[in-house]
């Protein structure tokens, strides 16, 4: 589900002493050409047992880092060259790691474009440590972390594009096969292609082929639009509590 805020926060798990010893750690990788940027994030993440830092890189696409560390989440300096291109490439592959762009300028238009490219989280330069840890956990769970304003703009854009279109429920029922409907629901729920393949006991290549057909039939540009459109109709966004993530 796309979340507009951190309403369900880490009230009992934000501190380093409260992490469950049996919980699997979230594997995180850092990418920035700034040694100071990486050092700062490393110092923060090292204090949270629920997060394991599996590697660092100074540039993208950081393929070796992804192969060696198999991170769940990649924290990428928003200013690093090729950040949005990397997001788009990972989105097309449908595999983890999911990208959180950190240290971004408070630019709504850029943030909307980043989400459209496949970023799963946007943290501005003013983000707090609590917001960073919340973002990692929520993105790892398949959700999206961004400001209320940015998510509103994304939904408004999708709504404008869908004016006069067939309602999503009818589109799913009339345009998609039963298998495609199952895959659409799982992808909208935040699962990767590999996870969908395991859930449905089919190959990852079959999932990719079905996704291509789904995007074509629903006239969507990617899994981000599918998730936003699906949850707009089937899972209303939770009420805001006044907080605003960075």
Q: What is the pLDDT of residues 118-173, one digit of tens each?
A: 899 999 999 999 999 999 999 998 889 999 888 888 877 776 665 555 555 665 67
Look up residue 26 and give its two tokens. Answer: 């979230």
CATH 2.60.40.10 at 161-234, yes or no: no
Say whether pLDDT at 22 is over 50.
Answer: no
Residue 30 to residue 9: CA distance in whole angstroms = 23
Taken as a whole, the chain contains a residue count of: 246
How many CA atoms, within 13 angstroms, populate the side-chain half-sphere of residue 100? 32
Residue 28 to residue 127: CA distance in whole angstroms = 18
Say whether pLDDT at 235 is over 50.
Answer: no
At 102 the pLDDT is 95
How many CA atoms, within 13 angstroms, populate the side-chain half-sphere of residue 223? 33
Say whether pLDDT at 185 is over 80.
Answer: yes
Q: Note whether 169 and 49 are within 8 A (CB).
A: no
Residues of the chain with CATH 1.10.10.10: 161-234
Q: Which of 184, 177, 190 is nearest to 145 (CA)?
A: 190
Q: Could you give the C-alpha distances from 222 to 124, 128, 151, 192, 206, in angstroms and in order?
A: 24, 30, 16, 13, 17
Q: Note whether 104 and 132 are within 8 A (CB).
A: no
At 176 the pLDDT is 84
45: pLDDT confidence band, cut at 50, 70 and 90?
very high
Look up residue 191 and give its two tokens. Answer: 């699962």
Superfamily of domain 16-156 in CATH is Response regulator (3.40.50.2300)
Averaged pLDDT for residues 98-109? 92
Residue 133 to residue 135: CA distance in whole angstroms = 5
Residue 195 to residue 95: CA distance in whole angstroms = 9
Q: Note whether 176 and 214 are within 8 A (CB).
A: yes
State pTM to two decimals: 0.58
Residues of the chain with CATH 3.40.50.2300: 16-156
End-to-end alpha-carbon separation of the chain, Å? 19
- Out of 30-44, 49-63, 160-174, 214-228, the most confident range is 30-44
């Amino acid at each position: 589900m796309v979340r507009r805020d951190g309403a369900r926060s880490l009230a009992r798990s934000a501190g380093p002493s409260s992490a469950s010893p049996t919980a699997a750690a979230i594997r995180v990788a850092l990418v920035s050409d700034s040694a100071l940027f990486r050092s700062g994030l490393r110092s923060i993440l090292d204090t949270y047992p629920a997060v394991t830092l599996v590697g660092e890189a100074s540039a993208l696409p950081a393929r070796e880092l992804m192969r060696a560390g198999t991170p769940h989440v990649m924290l990428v300096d928003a200013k690093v060259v090729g950040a949005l291109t990397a997001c788009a490439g990972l989105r097309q592959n449908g595999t983890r790691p999911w990208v959180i762009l950190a240290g971004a300028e408070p630019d709504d238009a850029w943030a909307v474009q980043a989400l459209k490219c496949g970023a799963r989280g946007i943290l501005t330069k003013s983000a707090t440590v609590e917001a960073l840890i919340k973002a990692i956990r929520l993105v790892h769970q398949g959700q999206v972390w961004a400001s209320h304003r940015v998510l509103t703009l994304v939904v408004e854009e999708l709504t404008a594009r869908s004016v006069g279109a067939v309602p999503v429920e009818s589109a799913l029922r009339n345009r998609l096969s039963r298998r495609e409907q199952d895959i659409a629901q799982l992808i909208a729920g935040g699962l990767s292609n590999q996870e969908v393949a395991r859930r449905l006991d089919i190959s990852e290549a079959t999932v990719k082929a079905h996704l291509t057909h789904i995007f074509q039939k629903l006239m969507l540009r990617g899994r981000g639009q599918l998730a936003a459109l699906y949850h707009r109709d089937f899972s209303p966004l939770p009420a805001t509590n006044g907080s605003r993530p960075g």
